[in-house]
Amino acid sequence: MQHLTDPELLGLVGQGDEAALRELVERHTPWLLLRLGRRTPDPDLAAEAVHDTFVAIWKNPRSFRGEGDVGAWLWGIAIRQLVSRLRRRAQPMPMETRLLSALSPTVRSAEDELLVALEHGAVGAALSTLSPELRQVLQATVIDGLSTREAAHLLGIPQGTVKSRARIARSRLREQLISREACP
């Protein structure tokens, strides 16, 4: 099975092939856990979201339409599973925990690494001028592709706050890029 592509494996999962599902799980669980672990301080919650992701795939493997990368499709399912689990939590995460995890992550995400790599370019320089709160909203809505409602649940802030922070972030980025373009 290791020689099969992800779309081929999904086709086999659609035919009820459990070995194909196991192969997908083995290929994708490590990086999904790593990325989800950067979105929540609770590793059990991340693991449950990954588990739910593969259960959803087993139930409906044909939801992948063959467009784009399977990994991106899996990430979309996984992040939505995480948001769903966060919604169902009986006790909201204390504000102090949310702030500490947001302001001092122990490991950088792939997206953060990309932003660091862009540091010497105009976009990176403009992004570095944004507050952590504005960057978080951009990461959730632009990089992770979450709706404002999903981002609000993930970040533990009202949906209106997500919208206003996204608007402010776009405006500030635009201003920064225009001013850098005018002053070469």
Residue 92: Cβ within 10 Å count: 10
Task: Give, in degrees to the nearest 5, the angle at Cα 18 between 13 and 24.
Answer: 65
Judge whether residue 20 has pLDDT over 80. Answer: yes
Q: How is domain 1-91 classified at the architecture level of CATH? A: Orthogonal Bundle (1.10)
Among 6-15, 107-116, 121-130, 148-157, which range has the highest average pLDDT? 6-15
Q: What is the pLDDT of residues 62-119, one digit of tens each?
A: 788 777 778 878 888 998 898 888 777 645 555 545 544 554 444 555 555 554 455 4
Residue 100 pLDDT: 47
Quote the distance between the C-alpha of residue 13 and its chain's center.
Answer: 25
Between 122 and 56, name the one with better pLDDT: 56
Residue 150 pLDDT: 78
Residue 92 pLDDT: 52
Cα–Cα nearest to 174, from 115, 116, 129: 129
What is the rounded average pLDDT for all residues in the chain?
79
* pLDDT > 70: percent of the chain: 78
Q: Is 174 exposed, middle or buried (0-12, 13-18, 19+ CB in 10 A)?
A: exposed
Residue 80 pLDDT: 86
- The class (CATH top level) of 95-184 is mainly alpha
CATH 1.10.10.10 residue ranges of the chain are 95-184
CATH 1.10.1740.10 residue ranges of the chain are 1-91
